[in-house]
Amino acid sequence: MSSFAPGVPEQFIISKRIGASTPANLNEVLEFIKSDPQARIVSVVGPPNDPARLVVSLSDERADALRARFGPGLIVEADRMLLDPGISPTLLM
């Protein structure tokens, strides 16, 4: 869980787990997300027949449902700004 308010959509990055015994098929994940009226596809990275990464807006509860449905072969992480540990976050504001 990563949202401050339950049920509020936020962006998640989704990819298949390389090296997993059964990596998730992102085309199946994409179809599953398209069938969810509460989810919104922000971007698809990679070729249409084999996407490498998805950026999706959905709630934490929906993200948990994706993890449960597709198992350990799928990575679902909140899309957050990455910070260099040597840079103070206050310098970025």
- Residue 12 included in any domain: no
E strand segments, the chain? 10-16, 40-45, 53-58, 74-78
- Residue 38 included in any domain: yes
Number of compact structural domains in the chain? 1
pLDDT score of 16 more than 70: yes
Q: Tell me 22's DSSP state.
A: S
Spacing of C-alpha 52 from chain mean position:
12
pLDDT score of 65 more than 90: yes
Q: Over range 57-81, report the average pLDDT.
A: 92
- Residue 27 included in any domain: yes
- Residue 63 included in any domain: yes
Domain range holding 69?
18-78
* Span 70-86, pLDDT tens digits: 999 999 999 887 666 66
**pLDDT at residue 19, rounded to an integer:** 85
**pLDDT at residue 20, rounded to an integer:** 82
- Pairwise CA distance, residues 17 & 74, whole Å: 5
- Pairwise CA distance, residues 14 & 78, whole Å: 9
- Residue 70 included in any domain: yes
